Amino acid sequence: MQQEKATVEEFKKLPSVGDTTAKILQDEGYLTFEDLVRANPMTIHQECNIVISSATHIISAAVEHIDGQCPMCESHSIKNSWEEYSDAIPKDSDAEVVCSGCGWYGIIEELEK
Ligand SMILES: [Zn+2]
């Protein structure tokens, strides 16, 4: 299911994102919060000239804006799976998510809409 394109105003809810950064992200093809969740901080850093720590924060925060809940406990406490492992390097197209409510682990497509 394709999420609707987020607006610049919506992207500005993310940490360290203002008008300029929101527009750059959209120009680079990150049109939805889900696009950001699937992204890699290094790729965003290179494509959008955003420092890696900010790119990481943006991706971490984007998962809170995606439309979906845990299929097991219906919690909305969904995080990127790589956030659970501080030494893990997030991969491209890594849409693995974990529920901090019940520990369910899966992919973004499995979230209940
Ligand atoms: Zn859960």
In the chain, where are the structural domains located? 8-63, 78-110
Tell me how far the alpha carbon of residue 61 lies from the centroid of ligand 1, in angstroms. 18
Tell me how far the alpha carbon of residue 82 lies from the centroid of ligand 1, in angstroms. 17
Give the tens place of pLDDT for each residue, 29-81. Answer: 999 999 998 888 889 999 999 998 899 889 889 988 988 899 999 998 898 87
Tell me how far the alpha carbon of residue 49 lies from the centroid of ligand 1, in angstroms. 35
- Predicted local confidence at residue 51, as pLDDT: 92
Contacts made by residues 42-48, CB under 8 angstroms, sequence distance 24+: 43/92, 48/21, 48/24
Q: Are 57 and 15 in contact (CB under 8 A)?
A: yes
Tell me how far the alpha carbon of residue 72 lies from the centroid of ligand 1, in angstroms. 5
Tell me how far the alpha carbon of residue 104 lies from the centroid of ligand 1, in angstroms. 5
pTM over 0.85: no
- Please, is 59 exposed, middle or buried when counting C-beta atoms within 10 Å of its C-beta (0-12, 13-18, 19+)? buried
**Has domain 8-63 been given CATH number 3.40.430.10?**
no
Give the tens place of pLDDT for each residue, 74-89. Answer: 998 898 877 665 545 5
